[in-house]
Chain A
């Protein structure tokens, strides 16, 4: 961890700017792409923006849910306790269940996972959590309609089992390099 409090003011500002620019550079790049598209085909740019706006509206409730969950977790569970639970033998099971019951887009969970990662939760468990986000109880009826009950049951079981192997592999590779 950087000891920013010991740095001179101008360096602190420089570090702050570096932190901000890293993430916002991506936003500026995408806006630039939109501007280029707008010049080439204004209707398509407007359609893309409208679609993005509809996605934003859809994810607002998930934003609120993730925020509430993070606040509750921060209040009731100490970072050490949570990392301890997840790092125990049944941590894999917790990661699977948490992945399945978590809602909304994957990127909404990055702040919480980043927190857990900083608290020492194994990368493998985070990978397992992310993999199990593919299994959504609310989506199962739709998969059954399109692909049948047998397919849905087999796919769900195969994914849950392989998610642990996938998590284990991610952990080994990340630790190795």
Chain B
């Protein structure tokens, strides 16, 4: 009985190790890309892409999809955008797509979860980031 438990534990650990090891190259890739993006694109340039038009939510969603890193960074950037007069719908689309859509992580997602799934999920998440933003701000206006 004890031997069986140890054998099961061993198998569980080996399986987990294999799973993690398979993801290692992709994780290295994503982290190196995040480093490149963070240094090559200064944060002050982000707010300049907004045009104060109806396309701002789409721009916000697109910007959030391209950029990567901790969600905390997206809230701080979003706060800065708000102070600079960018619409709340655009900022909401930006912070939602930051976490839900990942252009930088797309190659990793394709390798791990499949091309069809990864592309469909990211495309739908992009549309939904804009939808979530419109609904959230719409509900807030009603309150």
- B35 cross-chain contacts in A, Cβ below 8 A: 48-53, 55
A47 near B39: Cβ-Cβ < 8 Å: yes
Chain B interface main SS type: helix
| Tally of chain A residues near chain B (CB < 8 A) | 68
Instruction: Considering the complex, give the chain A residue whose CB is closest to the CB of B19.
Output: A111
| A158 and B95 alpha carbons, distance in the complex (Å) | 14
Task: Say whether B143 faces chain A, with CB atoms less than 8 Å apart.
Answer: yes
B34 near A146: Cβ-Cβ < 8 Å: no
Cβ-defined partner of B124 (8 Å) among A47, A142, A166: A166
- B131 cross-chain contacts in A, Cβ below 8 A: 162
Known contacts A111-B19, A170-B117; is-contact A106 B105 (Cβ 8 Å): yes
Q: How many A-B residue pairs have CB under 8 A?
A: 191
Name B's A-contacting residues (CB within 8 A): 8-9, 11-13, 15-17, 19-20, 22-23, 25-36, 38-40, 69, 71-72, 75-76, 78-79, 82, 88, 91-92, 95-96, 99-100, 102, 105, 107-109, 111-114, 116-117, 120-121, 124-125, 128, 131-132, 135-136, 139-140, 143
